[in-house]
Amino acid sequence: MSLNRRALLASGLALAGLAACSKGASSSQDIVVSFSDLSQPFFVAMRRDLEDEAQKLGVKVQVLDGQNNSSKQVSDLDAASVQGVGAVIIAPTDSKALASATDKLADDGVIVVSVDRHIENAKHPVPHFGADNVAGGRAMAEWVVKTYPKGAKVVVITNDPGSSSSIERVKGVHEGFATGGSAYVIVAEQTANSKRDQALTVTQNILTSMGGQHPDVILCLNDDMAMGALEAIHGAGFTPQQIRVLGFDAIPEALKRIQAGDMAATVEQNPGEQIRTALRQVVGALRDKKAIASQSLTPVLITRDNLNQASRISEVK
C-alpha cells in the first residue's frame, strides 16, 4: 500500500473513531488532543502527563496521532469540527499547514490551543504553551562557545522541517554562534526528521564525507536523534570526548547518557508542564468561560552539573 493511501486510510479511521465516540453523544465539553507524532519519546511522555492531568481534573480526552503527516492532522481536525467537540489541543506537524483547519474550528466556536509548536498565519490567533525554542537553541551554541573558546567545527542535525520548534531552535543556534564569531563553523546542517535511525545515517554520512577529520560537536535538535548520532560516532571509532553531542528534550535515556559522560548536555523544556498547563486552561475556559493566556517556559541546559533540574531525572535507572 502506498504512503498516501495509508495516510488516507488512517485519516478515515480517525474520522470513524471520532464519529463512533460522539455520534448522538457529542458534547461542548469534549476535548480532542492531536499530537504530531506519537512515535517520538517526547510526545509519548507528554501524552502520559496529559492523561494524568485529565484524571485529576475529571475530564476525558481523546488522543489522536498525526503520524508526522499534516494531511492526516487536517483530516482529524476536520472530523473534530464536524462532531462538535468543545476544544482541541494540538502539537502541529507543520506550523503553517494547519492554520486553515484551526481557523475552521475557531469559526465553529471550538477552543483551540497549541503545545510545543506554534500555529502560524492563522486568522484566529492560537494561544500557545511551550518552551522558548530560540533560547534553547541559543543555549546549545553558547555551551559550545564556552567549552571551545578558540573555535569549533559543528554539525547541526535538525528536527521536523516546517515545525516552529525546528525553525526557532535553528535560529537560536545561529544567533549563539554569531555572538561567538567566525571561529565557530557549521560544517553541515541536515535534518533527520526527529528520528534516531535517520540521525544515525546522517551522522555516518557526514563523518565519511569529512575523510578522517571530525567535527568537535554535534548539536541534535531532539534527544532521539542524539542517540542515533552517538551510535554513529561509536561505530566510526570516535569517542564521546572527541565529538561532543548535545540534544534537546531531556528524555531519561539522554539524562542517563549525560550521567555516564557519553553525552554533553540536553535542553529541558518540560513537556509535562506544557501539556498540563494547556489542559488546565482549556478546562477553565470550557467550565467557567475563563480567558486563555499563552505561556512560554524558559528552557534549561542540563549537564552533569545540574542533572537534578531535569524534570524526568527520577525516571533514570
**113 vs 89: CA distance, rounded Å:** 5
Q: Model confidence over 42-54: pLDDT tens digits? A: 999 999 999 999 9
- The more confident residue out of 83 and 104 is 104
Supply the pLDDT for residue 28: 66
Q: 271 with 281: CB under 8 angstroms? A: no
What are the CA-CA distances from residue 122 to residues 94, 98, 166 (Å)?
Answer: 13, 8, 19
What are the CA-CA distances from residue 313 to residues 251, 307, 316 (Å)?
Answer: 9, 7, 6
Residue 20 cell numbers, joined: 463512533
Average pLDDT, the chain: 91
Residue 171 cell numbers, joined: 535560529
Residue 125 pLDDT > 90:
yes
Q: What order of strands is seen across the sheet that includes strand 295-297?
A: 61-65, 31-35, 87-90, 111-115, 128-131, 295-297
Supply the pLDDT for residue 27: 56
Supply the pLDDT for residue 101: 93
Section 126-141 average pLDDT: 97
Q: Model confidence over 215-250: pLDDT tens digits? A: 999 999 999 999 999 999 999 999 999 999 999 999
What is the three-class DSSP state of 226? helix
Residue 129: phi, psi to the nearest 5? -125, 115
Pairing mode of beta strands 266-268, 300-302: antiparallel
Section 118-124 average pLDDT: 93
Residue 194 pLDDT > 50:
yes
Q: In the structure, what pLDDT confidence band is assigned to residue 10 with cuts at 50, 70 and 90?
A: very low
Section 291-316 average pLDDT: 95
Residue 58 cell numbers, joined: 475529571
What are the CA-CA distances from residue 16 to residues 3, 20, 75, 85, 205 (Å)?
Answer: 20, 6, 11, 15, 43
**Nearest-CA neighbor of 58 among 86, 31, 85?**
31
Residue 280 pLDDT > 50:
yes
CB-based contacts of 187: which residues, under 8 Å, 6+ apart?
A: 153, 154, 155, 206, 210, 215
Q: Model confidence over 17-43: pLDDT tens digits? A: 444 343 334 456 799 999 999 998 899
**26 vs 30: CA distance, rounded Å:** 7
Supply the pLDDT for residue 54: 97
Q: What's the pTM value of the predicted model, to 2 decimals?
A: 0.84
What is the three-class DSSP state of 260? helix
Supply the pLDDT for residue 83: 83
